[in-house]
Chain A
Amino acid sequence: MSREKLTKLKNWYAKESTMGWVFILPLLLYFIVFQLAPMLLSFGISFTSWNLRSPAEFVGFENYKNLLFDSVNYPDFWPSLWITLKYIVFSLPGGIFIALVLAAMLNANVKGEGFFKTAYYIPNITAMVAVAAMWIFLLDPKYGLVSQLFDIDQSWLGSKSTALPTLGIMAIWSALGYNVLILLTTMKGIPDELYESATIDGANAWQKFTKVTLPMIQPTIFFLIVTGLIAAFQVFDQMYLMTGGGPDGATQTYMLSLYNHAFRYFEMGTASAMSYILLIIILIITWVNFKFIPQRFDD
């Protein structure tokens, strides 16, 4: 190799952007092979009838049409969407609100902040299977802690009216640590001067919270709402592990129904179509979020 060429190569190599690409290459490859390619493929599959065993057959918009209008062959579609929405109502606003209260309390320089942060975060890093096993134990209708506490024999996961709210509460509990941590970190980042000047203006603690803290953490709350909504639309493991969609379909969420189509009935086309319908729903809702929920404090 000539010296000139070598310098050229060296220069190319030394460029920051080159190094940047090298560093993200593993993730980029992973993303393309395991995420982007399957996504594009499943878009194609959503227009076919395919059970993995016989060749895929192009059916146009048939899968989409059947899901939306054929309630005999696809009885789960609309109910599962509705149940997912209900689940979001049970789990998301309450979850963020409780996290906000806890974060504000921890932010008041309480003793043992580190302990509480860790304690709240543990559910978040515990495997869902373990969490589910523990909750099944707690929720036992006769001998479970919850029934004993309220002194009633209630099948929390077995009766239609309580199953979904119970799973919602469980979700709040397991996401709490993450939400608290994110909110608390943002609260810690608020400059002290703001509170000082509020004090000089004669603001009390409540006013400081509503006029200084809340506006300053609004972007974070927005972030939690958007990501929380997207995650809640895709809720799956709890239902799969704890109720299997029952009782009487009360916890049959959208993703669970999608899973059944894909891996129980092997209707890959239908399942792919469902995932694209969900994508569209999530896109619309996220757009609405960006449009109507305040992302930052503007005077």
Chain B
Amino acid sequence: MKKQYLFSIILVLVLVLITACSSSENSSSKSSAGGDTKDASLDFWVYEPESIEGKNKLKDLAKKYEEETGTEIKLTFIPKDDFNTKLNGTIAVGNNPDISYLDQPLVPQFAKDGVLLNVDQYVEGENGINRDDYFDGAFNSVIVDEKLYGLPLNQSTVVLFYNKDLVEDPPETFEEWIDMAKEVYQKGEIAAFEGIGDGGYAAWLYPALVHSAGGSMVNDDETKATFGEGKALEAAKLLDELLKYSDQSVRDTQNAFGNGLIATKISGAWDIDNYKNNFSDLDFGVSLIPYKEGEKSHSNLGGDDIVIYENTEYPDASWDFIKYLTNDENAITMSEITGNFPVNVNAAADSRYKEDENLSVFSKQIETAVARPRITEWLKINDEVVGSSLDKVIISGEDPVKVMKKAQEDANVIMSK
């Protein structure tokens, strides 16, 4: 009997404790009301950097800012895979951070839902920015319906990686690429091209080929899909042709490019370090994405933006902080932390991006990189229409022209909603 007493007393105590803790947490958060003062405190959500050095660099940046301005920066590191889920969850209950990273294709959705702060008022003012300091493609990713909703944080693009032991000179045109494929292909041993992955990832890489073929994903005012017509179809045909000389069993082997089984692949700057550090036998180079004869090399543009939330208590301090993160000096650090390229023109002119034989190719490719369509439903069209159609071409070997034409029709139905 005594034991039972003891047990239930403990139980009740524990329960009381739990409820007490949670309620006190609620009452303490965001209680410090007031205007935009020197003692502003900003919640800042970032992707968990992949290395501990990256994490420390970010902490140092925040600390330096705290010392200079007196504004408190509360950094929260969240793994990239969980980031959007957690972020949306906090927005739903109004407990969101003041500032956060945001993946480019999410900006239009967030802006249209009214959760982001329109920062147009700051651009012109005393503490403003010079629009020309930023790359166009990246800067456009934070503009929705001609309003500015933050600043670009970093940008990335993809280029052609080639194995120097298999390919002497990288192909410059689609035609050269196919000739190279025929030459290098060995059944079951060597694949000419790695492919472009599958699903949503494939749909993210594919625009690089579409634009280099002289086509486009959507029309200029972004009201209609155009990736299944005219010159854009050359990209699908190219893919289909290249994969004839690239056995799936070779392409799907783990680290096939690193182990020298693949002649060409399309990838981003993150793979430079990967291949340098993990595959010392591999002799690889990078070059611009090949183009259809008579056209120009283009690539896709990805990256993240940095946004301020509409319900922040400290809009002025928030603006000052995001400006600080993207200025000439810090833009380099921020792009190092995220493994991408600076969005700031002066920062990108830094010698490290111009002189390195690999990074300089990326710098050049970025100049002609095309951003994703800024359509609210794009992420869904990307996955469920473009991605799944590319799967049909790449994996199931269906007729590329027919599949992409049908995909364009489906995309237009979704966009007209």
A: interface residue count bin: 35 or more
Query: Binary interface profile of A, 256-299, with partner B (CB < 8 Å = 1, else 0)?
Result: 00001001111000000000000000000000000000000000
Given contacts A141-B252, A155-B249, contact A22 B383 (CB under 8 A): no
Complex contact A19–B250 (CB within 8 A): no
A155 with B109: CB separation less than 8 A = no
For residue A65, CB closer than 8 A to chain B, the reply is: no
How far apart sit A154 and B252, CA to CA, in the bound complex (Å)? 9
Find the B residue at minimum CB distance from A158. B252
- CB 8 Å contact bits of A1-35 with B (1 = contact, 0 = none): 00000000000001000010010011001000000
Inter-subunit contact B417/A73 (CB<8 Å):
yes
Known: A52-B92, A248-B388. A153 touches B414 (CB 8 A): no
Q: Does A160 contact B (CB under 8 A)?
A: yes
A72 to B84, CA, bound (A): 25
Partner of A159, one of B199, B248, B410: B248
Chain B proximity mask over A124-160: 1 for CB below 8 Å, otherwise 0? 0000000000001100111100010000011101111
Give A50 Cβ to nearest chain B Cβ, in Å. 9
Q: Which residue of B lies closest to A154 (CB)?
A: B249
CB atoms of B248 and A26 under 8 A apart: no
In the docked arrangement, what's the CA distance between A72 and B85, Å? 25
- CB atoms of B249 and A141 under 8 A apart: yes
Contact residues, B1-45 vs A (CB, 8 A): 1, 4, 8, 11, 15
Contacts of A141 in B (CB 8 A): 248-250, 252-253
Q: How far is the CA of A134 from the CA of B250 in the complex (A)?
A: 20
Judge if A215 is at the interface, Cβ distance under 8 Å: no
- B379 interface residue, CB < 8 Å from A? yes
A53 CB–B CB distance under 8 Å: yes
With a CB–CB cut-off of 8 A, which chain A residues contact B128?
A: none
B92 close to A248 (CB less than 8 A): no
Q: Which single member of B254, B261, B395 contacts A247 (CB below 8 Å)? A: B395
Pick from B110-118, B157-165, B169-177, B296-304 the stretch touching chain A.
Answer: B110-118
Number of interface residues of B (CB under 8 A): 44
Asked if A248 and B396 make an inter-chain contact with CB atoms under 8 angstroms apart, the answer reads yes
Report the minimal beta-carbon distance from A9 to chain B, rounded to whole angstroms: 12
What CA separation (Å) do A245 and B388 show in the bound complex?
Answer: 10
Are A53 and B84 in contact, CB atoms less than 8 angstroms apart?
Answer: no
Query: Contacts A22-B8, A141-B253 known; A247 to B91 CB distance under 8 Å?
Result: no
Interface: B230 (CB within 8 A) = no
- Decide yes or no: A51 and B253 within 8 Å by CB, A244-B199, A248-B392, A249-B391 being known contacts: no
A62 at the interface (CB under 8 A from B): no
Give a binary string over A50-72; 1 marks a CB under 8 Å from any B CB, 0 the rest. Answer: 01111000000000000000001
- Decide: A155 near B414, CB < 8 A? Known: A52-B91, A266-B88: no
A165 within 8 A of B: no
Known: A73-B414, A155-B249. Contact between A248 and B85, CB under 8 A? no
Instruction: Identify the closest chain A residue to B412 (Cβ).
Output: A72
* Chain B residue nearest to A243 in the complex (CB): B198
**Min CB gap A185→B, angstroms:** 30
A246 within 8 A of partner (CB): yes
Nearest B residue (CB) for A73:
B414
**B70 close to chain A: CB less than 8 A:** no
Proximity string of chain B (126-139) to chain A, C-beta cutoff 8 Å, 1 when within and 0 when not: 00000000000000
Residues of chain B lying within 8 A (CB to CB) of residue A29: 15
Distance to closest chain B CB from A133 (angstroms): 11
Contact A249 B388 (CB under 8 A): yes
Flag whether B72 is at the interface (Cβ < 8 A): no
Q: CB distance B391 to A248 under 8 Å?
A: yes
CB contacts under 8 Å to B, within A29-51, are 29, 51
CB distance from A79 to the nearest CB of B (A): 10
Question: Is B349 engaged at the interface, CB distance under 8 Å to the other chain?
Answer: no
**A interface residues, Cβ below 8 angstroms from B:** 14, 19, 22, 25-26, 29, 51-54, 72-73, 75-76, 136-137, 140-143, 147, 153-155, 157-160, 244-249, 260, 263-266
* Known A137-B254, A141-B253, A143-B253; further 8 A-B contacts with Cβ < 8 A: A53-B91, A72-B414, A73-B413, A75-B384, A153-B250, A155-B252, A157-B252, A265-B379
20 A-B residue pairings within 8 Å (CB atoms): A14-B1, A22-B8, A25-B11, A29-B15, A51-B88, A51-B109, A52-B91, A53-B91, A53-B115, A72-B410, A73-B414, A75-B385, A140-B253, A141-B249, A153-B188, A157-B252, A158-B252, A159-B395, A160-B395, A263-B85
